[in-house]
Structure 1
Amino acid sequence: MSENNFNIVNIRVTFRNIPIHKLERFSFKDIAAASESFKKIPGISECVIVQTASRVEIFTVSNVEKEEAPDARRDEGKNLTINKIKETWASLTELDEYDRGHFDQILEVYDGKDVYLHLLRLASGLESIVVGNESVMDDIKTAIANAKSSKASGRILNQLFDSVIRIATRIRNATEISKGVTSIGDIAVKIAQENAGLDGKQHVLLIGTGETAAMVAKSLNKKGYAFDISSMIIERANGFSKILGGKPVKFEEVLKGFDKFDIIFVATTADYFVINHDKIRIVMENKKKGTMILDISDPRTVDETVSTLPGIKLMFRDQITEMDERNLKARDDKIIAVEKLISKEIPIIEATMRRLDPEPQVNDIFASVDSLRKKELEKALQMLGETDEKKIKIIDDLTKAVVENIISIPASSSKKAEKA
C-alpha cells in the first residue's frame, strides 16, 4: 500500500486524561479563529476542531507537496508540526503553569489510520462518557459544517468527516447502540425520581467533578433539574459548572447546610469518607423532611453509619447498578457489535482517503460513476413511488457505499502499477 501525499493528525484532550473541570482551560473561545491560527502553521492546509463538554480535539492536514514544509510523514516533519500545534494551542487558551508543564503528558496524538479509527469510534458512540450518546454525532456534524462554512477544512477532512458520519449513522442504526442509552448517572437519577419524588422542586446537590459526576449532571440537565455542585476544592466546582452546569457551592457550606438538601448525589474519586456521621449529625437533628443520598463513588465515600440518622435513606453504587443489570448487559453486547462493524469499515475509509491523492483519472471516473448513480437512483425511486425520507436515505447510503467499494479496487490497483 502506497503512502498518501498528505498526513492527517488528531491531537486531543478528553475526559479520559484530565478531570472534566479542567477541560475549560484547554477550550477555545473562538473556534473559527483558532482554526485559522492552526492553518497558519507552515504545511497545515486544513483544520477541524471538535469541542464538547468532555473533549477538545483538533484534526489537521499537512500537505507534503509544499517545499517549505518538511515531509509530514517522517518523524522530523511530524514532530515539528505537532510542536507548532502545541505552541499555538497554548497561546490560544488559558492554561496554568502546571498544564503547560505537563502538556506532553496530557495530550494524545495520533495520525493516519489511527485517526480514521478514532473518529469512527467517536461518531459511533464508543468514546463518549455515556456509550451510545447521540449528542456527539451532532457535535461532529456541527464541527465539520462550521469548518466548511469558514473554509477551515478542505477536500481531505471534508471527505473523511462526511464518510465517517455516513458510516457511523449506518452502524448506529444497525446495532441500535443509541437506543435506551443509560449510564450510572441516568440510573441514579431515575431511582431518585422513583424513590424520592425528584421532580425539579427539590433542592438537589451533586458532590464530585469527575467522569461519574458528569454522567449525573448530564442526566439532571436532560430532565431540566437544577442542582448545586460541590467539591473539596471550589475551583473544581467552578470549572465543572461552566461546562456542565450547576451552582458552585463550597464544601464547607455544604456540611453546614446539609439539612437544606433533599437529594444528594455523591460521585467523587476520594479514597476516604467525605461524608460521615459526625460531620452532619448536629445539622440534621432538626430536619423534618427526609433526605436521600445516592453514593455512586467507587470506592464508597459516604460512611454507612450516616444511614442511622433519622430521615436519611442511603444507597450505594452496587445497589444502584443491580437494579439495571439487564440494560448494562445489553449495552455490552451492542458495543461488541459496533466494534465488529467498525473493523470492517476502516479498510473502506482507507481506500476512500487514498483516492484523494493526485489521481485525475480515478477521480474523474468516480465523479462520472457517482453522477450515473444519482440518475439511476432517482429513476428507481420514481418507479418505486418511494417517498419515505428514511428509506430513501438508506438506499442512497447503500448505493454510495457500493460505488466507493467498486472504485477503490481500480484505484488501489492503479497505485500498485505506478509503484511497480
Structure 2
Amino acid sequence: MGGQQDRMTLYLGTQSSQFVNLRVTFKNSPIHILEKFAFKDIYSAHQHLLNSSELQECIILQTCNRVEIYGVGPNPKYEGIVNSWSDLIDLPVEEVKNNVVISDGEKAVRHLVELTSGLDSLVIGEDQILGQVKRSLDFSRKNGFAGPNLNILFDKTIKIGSRVRALTGINKGSISVGSMAVNLAYEYFDDIKEKQILLIGSGEGASLIAKSLKQRDIKFFVTSRTFERARSFADTVAGSPIPFEAALEKLNDDIDIVFISTIAPYYLLTYERIANMMKNRTKGLMIFDLSNPRTVEDRIATLNNIKLVNIDQISEIVEKNVGRRKKEIQSAEKIIEEEMITIKEMLKRKSSEPAIITIFKNADSIRNKELNKALSLIGNRMNEKDIKILEQFSYALVEGILSTPMNNLRKEFSSSKNENELINLALKLFNYEKP
C-alpha cells in the first residue's frame, strides 16, 4: 500500500476535515490487475464507503486506466476504507493494500489538480479525463454522496483543468497513432461522413482508431480474420461487423478509406490483389497501414488513385506532437502552483465562516435582548414607526462594529499558518464557544 503522507489538515466546512484519495492506476498496476479493483455497482459502492469507513462525503472516479476514491471525513482511517474496498470487490485485504496508493491533505488536492489538468493521464494532456471527472462529480452530487466540501473542491479543480488547457498547448495535436490517422483522413476528405470506411483488426491499435471514429460520429465497417472477433469488437467498442471475405469484396468499389491495424505476419493487402481490384474501381482509395510489421505491400503506393500512409509516417508526426506537449508541461505546472495557493486560501476562508457566523449570531442575540430591554423601559412613548427606526439602528450598529474586524479575520485566516490558534483567539476575544 502506498505510504501514508504527512497529514496536512485542510479545513473544510464546519469543522477541520481530512481530504483523502485512495487510487489504483495504470502507473502502479497493469491493466489485468487494475480491472480487479473496479466497482461493479458504483451507487452501492458509494453507499458502502459512506456507511462503513467514516467518510462523510465520497466521489468515485472509475475509468479504464484508474479507479479512485475521494473522500472527506473528520478523521478517516485508511484501514477502514481499504477494508470497505476489499469487501466491495471481493479481494483479500492484503492484495488491496499492496496496490493502493494513498494521498491526503495538500498532496491529495495536488493529485486531483494534476489529474484534471491532464498531467496524470496515460496520454499527456488528453481531454477525456476532464469529462470523466465532471461526470463522477455530477453522479455523486445528484445522489447526495458529495457534500459542500467535495463540491467546492471538484468545481475548482475542473476549472483549473480547463484553464491549463486554454493557456497551454498541453492538449494540442494527436499523440496516438490511431487518432492521428483518423485526423489525417478527416483533413483529407471534406465529406468523410459520406465515405465508406473499413477497419481491419480487433486489437488495441484498432480500438484506438474505432474510438476516434466514434468520437467524430463517423460510421464504419469492422472486420477480422474471424467474424466472431469482429462482432465482439463492434459490441464492445464500435463499428458494424462484416465477415473478412465480404470486406475484401467491398474493396472492389464500395470502400473509400481502409484502416489496418493487425499483428498478422504477412501482407493482407498485396500489390497483385489491389492492382487487379483498381482495374475495375471507379474511384480512388486511401489506405492507412498501422500494423507492425506492415500488412500492406509498399508497392501499392505506386498504383494510380491509391494513397498509402504507413505507420512510420504517422509515428513521425505523433513524435513531434508528443515533444510539443512535453514542452507545455512546465507551463502547466506553473499554473498549478499558482492555483494551489488559491485553493488553500479558498478552503481556509471557507472554514472561517462557521466561527464568524457564530460571532454574528451571538452579537445579534445581545442586540435583540438589549433592544427589547430598551423598548420595555420606553413603554408606550414610541409608535410603531419609531420602534422600526430603533430596530434598524440596532442592526446597523452591530453590523458597523463587526463587519471590519470580521473581514480582517477572513483575510488573516486565509494567510495564517496556524488557523486553529487564530480562530480560537477570535472566539476567546468575543467570549464565545467554538462552533
Scaled by the length of structure 1, what TM-score is found?
A: 0.64
Is the alpha carbon distance of 1:209 and 1:237 closer, same or farther for their aligned partners in structure 2, counting shifts above 3 Å? farther
Deviations 1:170-227 (A, max 9, x none): 32332254566675334312333455784443132152442x5454233312332123
Could you tell me how far 1:344 is from its partner in structure 2?
Answer: 3.9
Counterpart CA distance in 1 for 2:72 and 2:231 is 37
Give the AA of the match of 1:110: I
Could you tell me how far 1:266 is from its partner in structure 2?
Answer: 3.5
Given that residues 41 and 85 in structure 1 are in contact (C-alpha distance below 8 angstroms), is that contact kept between their aligned partners in structure 2?
Answer: no
Is the alpha carbon distance of 1:314 and 1:351 closer, same or farther for their aligned partners in structure 2, counting shifts above 3 Å? same
Could you tell me how far 1:241 is from its partner in structure 2?
Answer: 4.4
1:57 match: 67
Q: 1:8 aligns with which of 20, 45, 50?
A: 20
Given that residues 209 and 236 in structure 1 are in contact (C-alpha distance below 8 angstroms), is that contact kept between their aligned partners in structure 2?
Answer: no
After TM superposition, list the pairs within 5 Å mapping 1:139-178 onto structure 2.
139-175=132-168, 177-178=170-171
Counterpart CA distance in 1 for 2:42 and 2:140 is 9
Scaled by the length of structure 2, what TM-score is found?
A: 0.62
Give the AA of the match of 1:82: V
Is the alpha carbon distance of 1:121 and 1:234 closer, same or farther for their aligned partners in structure 2, counting shifts above 3 Å? farther
2:84 aligned counterpart, secondary structure: helix
Is the alpha carbon distance of 1:363 and 1:304 closer, same or farther for their aligned partners in structure 2, counting shifts above 3 Å? farther
Is the alpha carbon distance of 1:15 and 1:111 closer, same or farther for their aligned partners in structure 2, counting shifts above 3 Å? closer
Give the AA of the match of 1:117: R
| Further displaced range: 140-149 or 186-195 | 186-195
Could you tell me how far 1:161 is from its partner in structure 2?
Answer: 0.8
Given that residues 31 and 49 in structure 1 are in contact (C-alpha distance below 8 angstroms), is that contact kept between their aligned partners in structure 2?
Answer: yes
2:57 match: 46
Give the AA of the match of 2:43: A
Counterpart CA distance in 2 for 1:285 and 1:236 is 29
Is 1:110 matched with 2:102? yes
Is the alpha carbon distance of 1:325 and 1:404 closer, same or farther for their aligned partners in structure 2, counting shifts above 3 Å? farther
Q: 2:418 aligns with which of 396, 413, 418?
A: 413
Gaps of at least 5 residues in structure 2 are 1-5, 10-16, 360-408, 425-435
Could you tell me how far 1:332 is from its partner in structure 2?
Answer: 3.3
Given that residues 58 and 72 in structure 2 are in contact (C-alpha distance below 8 angstroms), is that contact kept between their aligned partners in structure 1?
Answer: no
Is 1:340 matched with 2:334? yes
Is the alpha carbon distance of 1:90 and 1:205 closer, same or farther for their aligned partners in structure 2, counting shifts above 3 Å? farther
Percent identity between the two aligned chains = 26
1:260 match: 250
Counterpart CA distance in 2 for 1:334 and 1:14 is 22
Counterpart CA distance in 1 for 2:410 and 2:227 is 53
Counterpart CA distance in 1 for 2:165 and 2:96 is 34
Q: 1:121 aligns with which of 110, 114, 119?
A: 114
Is the alpha carbon distance of 1:329 and 1:259 closer, same or farther for their aligned partners in structure 2, counting shifts above 3 Å? farther
| Further displaced range: 315-324 or 136-145 | 315-324
Counterpart CA distance in 2 for 1:364 and 1:267 is 62
Counterpart CA distance in 2 for 1:224 and 1:338 is 31
Is the alpha carbon distance of 1:57 and 1:349 closer, same or farther for their aligned partners in structure 2, counting shifts above 3 Å? farther
Is the alpha carbon distance of 1:193 and 1:164 closer, same or farther for their aligned partners in structure 2, counting shifts above 3 Å? closer
Higher gyration radius (CA): 2
Is the alpha carbon distance of 1:295 and 1:141 closer, same or farther for their aligned partners in structure 2, counting shifts above 3 Å? same
| Further displaced range: 277-286 or 200-209 | 277-286
1:277 aligned counterpart, secondary structure: coil
2:213 match: 220
1:317 match: 311
1:31 match: 42
Given that residues 124 and 132 in structure 1 are in contact (C-alpha distance below 8 angstroms), is that contact kept between their aligned partners in structure 2?
Answer: yes
Give the AA of the match of 2:73: N
Counterpart CA distance in 2 for 1:104 and 1:159 is 29
Could you tell me how far 1:151 is from its partner in structure 2?
Answer: 0.9
Given that residues 132 and 181 in structure 1 are in contact (C-alpha distance below 8 angstroms), is that contact kept between their aligned partners in structure 2?
Answer: no
Counterpart CA distance in 2 for 1:200 and 1:23 is 39
